[in-house]
Amino acid sequence: MDASPRPARRTLRLPATATAVLCVAALAAGCSPASGPEPRSSTRAAAAPVATSELEDGYREVIANVLPSVVQIEAGESLGSGIVYDDKGHIVTNAHVVGRTERFNVTVATGEQPLTATLVSAFPEQDLAVVKLDDVPPGLRAARFGDSSEVAVGQIVLAMGSPLGLSSSVTQGIVSAVGRTVSASREGGGTGATIGNMVQTSAAINPGNSGGALVNLSSEVIGIPTLAASDPGLEGSTAPGIGFAIPVSMVRTVADQIIKYGEVRDSGRAALGITGRTLLDDDYRPSGVAVVSVAADGPAAKAGIRAGDIITKLDDAEIATMTSLAEALASKRPGEEVSVTVERGGRERTVTVTLGEI
């Protein structure tokens, strides 16, 4: 895709205490026909306010159920959001929100004074992290997490977090697409991670929303807002209505392992077992991935790939950059066999690689 997503993190520029903002859009009533019996026209006119009231009531119920589980995280000079994961004080957020910081101030819905928290572990490859409150306050409410397989295009969703320092803010939109593979920028503290199966949403995602909650109308968290697309044609400014959230299935996979082991032992992310760099041709255009080193006894080494080879294709995907290689691997699973086309000494050859794990 042409848009270059950037992490929705914010450098602190606003006061720590900010007013929550909530805007609920009302449905516009349709016009009745000019002719026809008067009672029928009145019935149609009355239907719209009833539908609007029911929708607003639904929004308010979701907000009351979930917003108390969404927190604000201060990591040094940066600001982001997080979700209360369990009643033991674990909070899941983005790795780019925590950055290199290990101690945080967390503002929860049950109190105005920030609480201190400590990093448990971060997993930059999936841009996720878990922090733990040093002291668990009474009434701390864990969020309820949904099922990624039930997320569908067209679903109404709410994004909750602290955009631009405005804590407990809510925006509304729909699921615009599922199964997106997106590469994050390294600018502004981003991890540069390539993440597969992301949920695309039209709900506004702004700096500070990172690590918050994308919620369905059943009051279930279905993703963590992480990236907002930027438009190269507008000098990299945010492209409105195009945001991305890490799916709840991956959130659970990573968070559960971090809480249990203090690290991620089974990422589910496929790897070739190489380090590489983007190769440019004589016209300074990307033309493949030059293999810099190969992990001993790794997948690539076992398939006969060597340092100095140039990877140009993985299965049917053309490989021109490190990003395109990462995106091609994002849709694969460890243990899966793929064909990799490489150039060596001016000659092209294709090998079969059994993928390993990050």
The H or E element that residue 75 is part of is strand 70-75
The predicted structure's pLDDT at residue 235: 59
Choosing from 167, 176, 210, 249, which is the catalytic residue?
210
> How many whole angstroms from its chain centre is CA 341?
31
Nearest alpha carbon to residue 245 among 312, 317, 178, 298: 178
Choosing from 81, 96, 230, 309, which is the catalytic residue?
96
- As a whole number of angstroms, the distance between CA 157 and CA 174 comes to 5
The predicted structure's pLDDT at residue 193: 87
* C-alpha dihedral sign at 110, 116, 121, 124: positive
The predicted structure's pLDDT at residue 46: 58
| Helix/strand/coil percentages in the chain, nearest 5 | 20, 40, 40
Other C-beta atoms closer than 10 Å to the C-beta of 181 total 17
* Low-confidence winner among 2-16, 223-237, 275-289, 312-326 (lowest mean pLDDT): 2-16
Could you tell me the two tokens for 46?
């009355």
Q: Are strands 213-215 and 270-271 parallel, antiparallel or unpaired?
A: unpaired
190 touches 184 (CB < 8 A): yes
- As a whole number of angstroms, the distance between CA 68 and CA 62 comes to 11
The answer to whether residue 210 is catalytic is yes
The answer to whether residue 96 is catalytic is yes
pLDDT in tens, 243-260: 999 999 999 999 999 999
Residue 76: DSSP 8-state: T
Mean pLDDT of the chain: 85
- pLDDT confidence band for 19 (50 / 70 / 90): very low
Choosing from 69, 78, 121, 127, which is the catalytic residue?
127
